């Protein structure tokens, strides 16, 4: 491997690391802040968020971008080995990298298909990663001089030699530990689990500034009973909308906290606003072509007491929802035996929710209305919690 080839490989690794790191950062921000807008969200088609928040954006609840960071980091370690190792190791590293990049190329081809064909979305950071992986594949393919059939055996022997030395064992242990810590920090909660980081609180200054803004917001009247709750949270929802899924996950710990300390004080009501022209005339170009079925299925599952389970299933399988899969889930998860027969009547109920949303000026999902204050897209978790806490204090003060 010539010096020029090594430099070119280093460039591709650094580009891949940078793009994967940026992807991981954006994904983490999207998970923690429903209102976050990524710098690579140009429009509905060129959108990193659309890809990251889909089922293809995570593997085992870990951001794909983070797996890219680990992939390129290991590639970089192999290049370090080529510079500092024995002549035999230097001769083998191009073949190791070619085998490694072959696996990487297979993965990015699958992800590119999922992005461009299934999701109809283009993620600029993802495309940068694809180019970096393809570059490594081409350059190492030209440089490799060892038959691929020999790579597994040679790699196994070199790995045993590596961990037999204190420095090598320490490097492997440090890499594995860092990878594990990163995975633990970045893993997102499973839909319906109610899991997540404990809800923290704002500082006194942050809370004061937020409440000053909150108090200046107009309030609307809602024709929805609060059932005796001090705080009524209404969510206009679409089960195929990625931010709707993310706020569902992010806000679960908040609702769980208030349910534990003040049962019945905070009530969440879901109103359906599918961005699907089948039932929503205000979304003639909507592409969520199973969201009307999903909303109707949840409404029907309320009769069987399985609405929460079905809602969790719908969000968990959001990216692959279809009218057929929703109907099957309505039966298998929601216990709805007459979905096809009841569907037309349920559409009329869904259209009533849509009509309410139209009167309130709803233009996007999710939109939350908290005691009359309308918030498009939701709030960061800390501020969502602060809004509910303030409304509870406000209700308590009005009763004194």
Range in 225-234, 258-267, 391-400 with the lowest mean pLDDT: 391-400
**Confidence at 44, pLDDT banded by 50, 70, 90:** low
Instruction: Return mean pLDDT, the chain.
Output: 89
328-338 residue pLDDT tens: 999 999 999 99
Same domain, 250 and 358: yes
Task: Put residue 385 in one of left, alpha, beta given phi > 0 → left and psi -120 to 50 → alpha.
Answer: alpha
The whole-number pLDDT of residue 60 equals: 80
Q: Tell whether 198 is covered by a domain.
A: no
Q: How far apart are CA 54 and CA 52, in angstroms?
A: 6
Same domain, 14 and 72: yes
The whole-number pLDDT of residue 35 equals: 66
Which ranges of the chain does DSSP label H, i.e. alpha helix?
Answer: 3-32, 48-52, 64-84, 87-113, 124-143, 151-163, 166-186, 204-215, 242-261, 291-304, 307-316, 323-332, 339-359, 381-399
Range in 48-52, 235-239, 392-396 with the lowest mean pLDDT: 48-52
Q: Residues 270-280: what's their mean pLDDT? A: 95
Same domain, 238 and 386: yes
Q: Tell whether 192 is covered by a domain.
A: no
Q: Tell whether 199 is covered by a domain.
A: no
Q: Look at residue 82 and tell me whether its pLDDT is greater than 90.
A: no
Same domain, 225 and 136: no
Q: Residues 118-137: what's their mean pLDDT? A: 92
Token pair 């190492």 in the structure block, residue: 140
More reliable by pLDDT, 314 or 203: 314
Q: Residues 56-71: what's their mean pLDDT? A: 90
The whole-number pLDDT of residue 375 equals: 94
Same domain, 96 and 221: no
The whole-number pLDDT of residue 197 equals: 47
Q: Give the bridge partners for 271, in sequence order.
A: 236
Same domain, 321 and 251: yes
What would the two tokens of residue 309 be?
């389970």
Domain count, the chain: 2
The segment with the largest mean pLDDT, out of 82-86, 162-166, 391-395, is 391-395
Range in 42-46, 297-301, 322-326 with the lowest mean pLDDT: 42-46
Question: What percent of the chain stands above pLDDT 70?
Answer: 95
- The verdict on whether omega for the bond into residue 185 sits within 30 degrees of 0, i.e. cis, is no
Q: Tell whether 195 is covered by a domain.
A: no
- Which of these three, 137, 152, 186, is where a domain ends? 186
Q: Tell whether 315 is covered by a domain.
A: yes
88-97 residue pLDDT tens: 877 888 899 9
CATH number at residue 42: 1.20.1440.130
Inter-residue contact 55 to 109 (CB < 8 Å): no
Question: What percent of the chain stands above pLDDT 90?
Answer: 58
Same domain, 166 and 224: no
CATH number at residue 310: 3.40.30.10
* Domain span including residue 279: 204-399
Q: Tell whether 197 is covered by a domain.
A: no
The whole-number pLDDT of residue 154 equals: 85
Same domain, 213 and 151: no
- Dihedral sign for Cα atoms in the order 338, 339, 341, 343: positive
Q: How far apart are CA 293 and CA 315, in angstroms?
A: 14
172-202 residue pLDDT tens: 899 899 999 888 888 766 555 554 445 567 8
Q: Residues 217-235: what's their mean pLDDT? A: 93
């Amino acid at each position: 491997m010539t010096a020029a080839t090594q430099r070119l490989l280093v460039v591709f690794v650094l580009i891949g690391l940078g793009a994967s790191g940026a992807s991981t950062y954006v994904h983490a921000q999207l998970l923690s802040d429903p209102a976050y807008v990524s710098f690579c969200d140009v429009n509905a088609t060129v959108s990193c968020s659309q890809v990251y928040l889909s089922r293809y954006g995570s593997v085992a609840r870990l951001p794909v971008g983070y797996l890219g960071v680990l992939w390129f980091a290991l590639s970089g370690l192999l290049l370090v080995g080529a510079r500092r190792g024995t002549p035999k190791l230097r001769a083998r590293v191009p073949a190791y990298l070619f085998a490694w990049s072959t696996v990487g190329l297979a993965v990015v081809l699958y992800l590119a298909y999922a992005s461009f064909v299934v999701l109809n979305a283009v993620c600029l950071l993802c495309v940068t990663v694809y180019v970096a992986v393809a570059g490594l594949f081409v350059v190492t393919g030209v440089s490799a001089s060892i038959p691929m059939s020999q790579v597994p055996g040679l790699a196994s022997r070199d790995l045993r030699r590596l961990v037999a030395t204190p420095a090598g064992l320490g490097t492997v242990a440090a890499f594995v530990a860092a990878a594990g810590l990163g995975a633990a920090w970045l893993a997102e909660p499973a839909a319906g689990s109610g899991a997540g980081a404990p809800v923290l609180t704002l500082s006194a200054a942050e809370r004061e500034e937020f409440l000053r803004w909150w108090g200046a917001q107009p309030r609307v009247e809602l024709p929805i009973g609060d059932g005796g709750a001090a705080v009524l949270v209404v969510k206009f929802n679409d089960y195929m909308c990625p931010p709707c899924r993310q706020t569902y996950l992010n806000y679960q710990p908040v609702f769980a906290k208030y349910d534990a300390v003040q049962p019945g004080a905070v009530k969440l009501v879901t109103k359906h606003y599918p961005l699907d022209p089948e039932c929503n005339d205000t979304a003639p170009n909507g592409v969520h072509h199973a969201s009307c079925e999903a909303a109707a299925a949840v409404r029907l599952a309320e009769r069987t007491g399985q609405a929460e389970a079905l809602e969790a299933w719908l969000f968990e399988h959001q990216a692959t929802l279809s009218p057929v899969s929703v109907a099957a889930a309505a039966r298998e998860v929601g216990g709805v035996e007459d979905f096809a027969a009841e569907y037309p009547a349920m559409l009329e109920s869904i259209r009533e929710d849509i009509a309410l949303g139209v009167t309130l000026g709803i233009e996007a999902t999710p939109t939350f209305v908290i005691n009359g204050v309308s918030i498009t897209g939701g709030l960061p978790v800390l501020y969502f919690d602060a809004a509910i806490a303030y409304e509870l204090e406000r209700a308590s003060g009005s009763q004194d």
